[in-house]
Amino acid sequence: MNNRLCILDEDIDIYLSMSWEPGRPHGICGHVYEIIDYYLLLHRHFRVGILFGDTFSEWSEFSKCIEDKYRLSSSELQSFKDNIKFHHLPMYVKGTNILFVDGSLRRLQNLGVRLMFKNILVFKCSYLDTIYDKVYENVTLLQDDRVYIDITPEDVDISVNYIKKINFKHYKELDTNIGDDDTSLIYATTNCRYLHVDKLKDLFDLYNTKRYLIVTNKPSIYSVLSSPRVTILEPPVDGLFDMFSTYIYTPTECMWDGSPRFPAECKHYGKNVIYHDITDDYMSHDRGLYYRRLDISNNFKVLALRDDDEIIDILNEKILYN
């Protein structure tokens, strides 16, 4: 029972977390970096903690993600270390306030996890992760209402309109490209972007760039492709944005990407993006990708997490204290 019970520090104002599930951990994905992004902002205003129920089990694993991507002082890095908790797949979690950056209370509810908090906040990331019909109480939903107004209007009625952002100001600067500029990156992580080996070969033939980087959490699946032309990498990758000139964005199986960050990161670093097989019909389903592309093209500054971001005022209003 003790291993299943996670009691969080009462001196922490709010914890940042993402959902967990046996056999289906998120792995190193955008939600990990969302936690880092928002911690860097919020810890200046609140006492902030981080909870991982899967993906990481020790500090060295998580710190690599931070150090590979961000420019931080030693005190900032130490702050992360001092305020992080790893608890493998807890079934009972007790605390005061928590913010799930992946918004998936559905996964936790299906697993039977009991969240005992005064206040639960969530960033909505999927049309499947509805809040209006869930059993959890004291939930504050933050979502980009443009994405969901025609999909889950019931949630729009109870939500706080909020666009999830990226803390670009802490990102490392680019060094120099490895080799020449004719290098394409493809993500093939198994949580949502798995591509069959034959499908990757088709992409190689279609775009015919000199080199390819395949980033995947399961390198063994694609080892047959490894060659002087094709490099297989497992995230996190130190200096990833120094290694390619073009990102080939591929469709997800579920035709949904709630708030894609990699295309926005490519815009920040001046990288090209090819939206492979993303048709008008696909975009009519994937409203998250639709509005993220719209913002990248027309209002990119709205995606940058600023020191005065409205999340600070939202939390000042919503956070409950012991």
Helix (H) or strand (E) holding 15: strand 14-17
How far apart are alpha carbons 302 and 13 in whole angstroms? 27
Centre a 10 Å sphere on the Cβ of residue 145 and count the other Cβ atoms it contains.
Answer: 16
Condensed to tens digits (0 to 9), the pLDDT of residues 257-292 reads: 999 999 999 999 999 999 999 999 999 999 999 999
Per CATH, the number for 173-303 is 3.40.50
Q: Where are the domains of the chain?
A: 2-167+305-318, 173-303
Tell me which residue of 251, 219, 246, 245 sits closest to 233, measured CA to CA.
Answer: 219
Distance of CA 226 to the CA centre of its chain: 28
pLDDT at 176: 61
CB 320 within 8 Å of CB 97: yes
Please report, in tens digits, the pLDDT of each residue of the chain (322 residues total).
Answer: 468 999 999 999 999 999 999 988 888 999 999 999 999 999 999 999 999 999 999 999 999 999 999 999 999 999 999 999 999 999 999 999 999 999 999 999 999 999 999 999 999 999 999 999 987 879 999 999 999 999 999 999 999 999 999 999 999 998 765 545 799 999 998 877 889 999 999 999 999 899 999 999 999 999 999 999 999 999 999 999 999 999 999 999 889 999 999 999 999 999 999 999 999 999 999 999 999 999 999 999 999 999 999 999 999 999 977 6
CB 128 within 8 Å of CB 143: no
pLDDT at 321: 79
Q: Mind giving me the DSSP string for 114-162?
A: EEE-SEEEEE---TT--STT-S-SSEEEEE-HHHHTTT-HHHHTTEEE-
Residue whose pair of structure tokens reads 């080799």 in the numeric block:
179
How far apart are alpha carbons 200 and 28 in whole angstroms? 21
pLDDT at 23: 86
pLDDT at 135: 78
pLDDT at 312: 98
pLDDT at 106: 92
pLDDT at 322: 64
Distance of CA 244 to the CA centre of its chain: 21
The amino acid present at 232, given as its one-letter code, is I
